[in-house]
Amino acid sequence: MKLAMVIVIPLIVSFCLSQTTIEWQRSFGGSLEDKAYSIQKTNDGGYIVGGYTSSNDSDVVGNHGSSDFWAVKLNSLGEIVWAKCLGGTASDVGYSIKQTMDGG
């Protein structure tokens, strides 16, 4: 039974991966550590991304401390619409982000 499962799982994974199409790839952030913990597709076809940034250059503007919660809104092409650093002088991290019911 274990041998059959070992053979079946790679076939399923291979089939699923062959159906995947990458729409776009982008890197965001600055020169220090930046990490996304949450991403959600938004009603306008774009994405909202939440995590943290330790940077204050490139795509990151306005870091207030050692790390800030970083919220980034992307359009459907993966281009930054807006980005916000939120936090104080210590470490602030966002682990989840969600579009509100009013579209905000």
Spans of the chain below 50 pLDDT: 1-12
Q: Is residue 6 part of a domain?
A: no
CA 89, CA 86: separation in Å to the nearest integer?
A: 10
Question: How is residue 50 written in tokens?
Answer: 């939440």
For the segment 64-90, what is each residue's pLDDT rounded down to a tens digit? 989 999 999 999 999 999 999 999 999
pLDDT given at position 14: 53
Domain span at residue 38? 30-98
pLDDT given at position 4: 37
How many domains, in total, are found in the chain?
1
Instruction: Name the nearest CA neighbour of 48 among 69, 63, 33.
Output: 69
pLDDT given at position 95: 94
Q: Is residue 7 part of a domain?
A: no
pLDDT given at position 18: 63
pLDDT given at position 58: 94
pTM score, whole prediction: 0.77
